[in-house]
Amino acid sequence: MAETSNSTSEIGFGRIIRRGLTRRCPVCGEWNVFDGWFRQKPSCPQCGFVFARKEGQFIGAIGVNTSVTAIAIVLSMIIGFAVTAPDFSLPWILGSTVVVSIVVPTIFFPVSKTLWAAMDILMIPLEETEAPLRQRPLRKNDV
């Protein structure tokens, strides 16, 4: 029987997204892919996957982070209006929105990078050579 799956589908959609959401390497699940909160290692120490697959790779991560922050800002404004109704305390609403607009992208920054890497390998499947240290599970026809 011929093996038709590529390496990305071997890992699985849910697992790749879960790894991205938890600041892990989307290919192997390695946790140690950051040198601090803001600095991602150039490649995964476990599988060798290079996170910047092409130039400008992390523009997508910025887009993910901006989208999540925009949603958080809208939610904070809705909650602010709901909590302060019927008087609508604008200083509190604006203050909380400013805090959200600073805190959320800071906290979400590393997740946006690993999540974008995960989304990227779902859109452009992983080539065999992109994770050279990856230990692959045995297939049926492997000896």
In the complex, which residues of this chain contact Zn ion (CB under 5 A)?
25, 27-28, 30, 44, 46-47, 49
To Zn ion, the closest distance from the beta carbon of 47 in angstroms equals: 3
To Zn ion, the closest distance from the beta carbon of 131 in angstroms equals: 6
Q: Which two tokens stand for residue 141?
A: 């026809």
To Zn ion, the closest distance from the beta carbon of 39 in angstroms equals: 17
By C-beta, is 25 or 104 nearer to Zn ion? 25
By C-beta, is 135 or 141 nearer to Zn ion? 135
**Contact assessment for residue 26 and residue 121, using Cβ atoms and an 8 Å cutoff:** yes
Give the C-alpha separation, 127 to 6, whole Å.
8
By C-beta, is 42 or 95 nearer to Zn ion? 42
Q: Which two tokens stand for residue 65?
A: 């982070």
- Helices and strands (DSSP H and E) totals, the chain: 4, 0
